[in-house]
Each structure stands twice: as C-alpha cells, then as structure tokens.
Amino acid sequence: MKSITPLFVTQLYLSNLSRGGELDISELEVSCRSIAEDDLAGQQWCENNGYSGYTSYASLSDLTWRFPIFNELKDILDSHVANFVEKLDFDLDDRDIVLEDMWINILDEGGSHGSHIHPHSVISGTTYVSIPNEAGEIRFEDPRLQFMMSAPPRKKDARNDLKTFHSHHPVAGEVLLWESWLRHEVRQNGSKGERISISFNYKWSD
Ligand SMILES: [Fe+2]
C-alpha cells in the first residue's frame, strides 16, 4: 500500500464563544428565559407542534434587532463563521456569508429534536447557554449513510473520522458550526434541568 487519502471530509467547527469576543453567558440565559416567558405566540406554537419546552424558531425572527445582547452575540458568531468559512475554501464570488436567522431553544426534561438538516443555508450552528448534566448530546450523521447499502457497521472503537455517527456533549459557552446539509439531531434531555441553546443559519448574501 502506498497511501490512504481522506476524501470528501466533513468539517465540524468547535470553539468557545469567548474566542470571538466578550459576552456574559448568564445574562444571555436570563434573556432567553425572559423572552420565552413573554413570547405567547411561541409558546402556542410549541404546544401545537409538540415541542417539549420552548423555541422562538417560528415566532421571533428579529432577536438581534430587539435585544442588544443578541446583537452582541451576532458579532461574535460572525467572527467564528468567518473563521470557519475561510477554512472551507469556498469560492464566494465576492459575496459574503451572513446571518439569516437565530432562535432560542429551551428543551425540558425528556425533550429531544429529531434528525434534520437546514435547507437553503450555507453554515448552521448552535451555541450553548445552559447545559445541565445528562442534557442530551447533539449527534451528527455521516451524509453518505443512505449509500451504505451493504457496508458493514463500524467497530465501536473505530477512529472518530470513520464513525457513522458522531455525538458531542456540549458545555455552556461552546459554539459548534457545520455545513447546513449535515444531518443532526438532539438526543433526549435526560436531565431535570432545562437545556438552553441558541441555533442559527448563515446564508450566501445576494
Ligand atoms: Fe438543527
């Protein structure tokens, strides 16, 4: 054998918010909780759609405009996304990758979020605000899974980059970024505490 070359590699970006600027995470947590309490339309949407907890996904599309701390968060995320985008070697044709939407997720005990992708976006991600012990991990799926018709499963102790699924137990203050086509899910929150995160999409500017 001469060599084995990794091809078509899936990149997962992991950092701490603090690397992109200063932000008080406990203040962010207070804001998330108070927005959730006030957002009756969002609460109703969660009830109608069986969401265990609260998400602003369907009710508030202007967090950065309404709340200064979310605008500060946007600036920090912008710098993380710029960092990631540079590593991805996109040819952007003089256009930018810009924030499209940002939303709060507060998952109650037993809550989860099924497997999904984020269509029409370029980069998606989550930053973690409050993560109690036993809170559900985020799990990413090999995007080639549907082609693996006769492929044997991987060993439990297979190398990280060869595994079919990759789980990450987040901690408060972390930021994770990935390309929006990457399928992922949030596993069941096994904690009595609320699992609070903020998710976002970045798109290719016009
Ligand atoms: Fe997601």
pLDDT tens digit sequence for 38-69: 999 999 999 999 999 999 999 999 999 989 99
Q: How far apart are CA 43 and CA 183, in angstroms?
A: 26
Q: Quick: pLDDT tens for 136-175.
A: 899 999 999 989 899 999 999 999 999 999 999 999 999 9
Q: Find the 139 Cα to ligand 1 centroid distance in Å.
A: 10
Q: Find the 1 Cα to ligand 1 centroid distance in Å.
A: 40
In this predicted structure, what is the pLDDT of residue 47? 96
Q: How much is the mean pLDDT over the chain?
A: 95
- What backbone torsions phi and psi does residue 79 show, to the nearest 5 degrees? -70, -35
Nearest to 23 by CA among 158, 129, 142, 102: 129
User: In the structure, what pLDDT confidence band is assigned to residue 21 with cuts at 50, 70 and 90?
Assistant: confident
Q: Burial letters for 76-94: b for 16+ Cβ neighbours within 10 Å, e otherwise? A: bbbebbeebbeeeeeeeee
Structural domains in the chain, CATH included, are: 12-144+161-204 (2.60.120.620)
pLDDT at 1 over 90: no
Q: Quick: pLDDT tens for 107-143.
A: 999 999 999 999 999 999 999 999 999 898 999 999 9
Q: Find the 123 Cα to ligand 1 centroid distance in Å.
A: 11
One-letter-per-residue 3-state SS of 125-166: EEEEEECCCCCCCEEEECCCHHHCCCCCCCCCCCCHHHCCEE
Q: Find the 117 Cα to ligand 1 centroid distance in Å.
A: 6
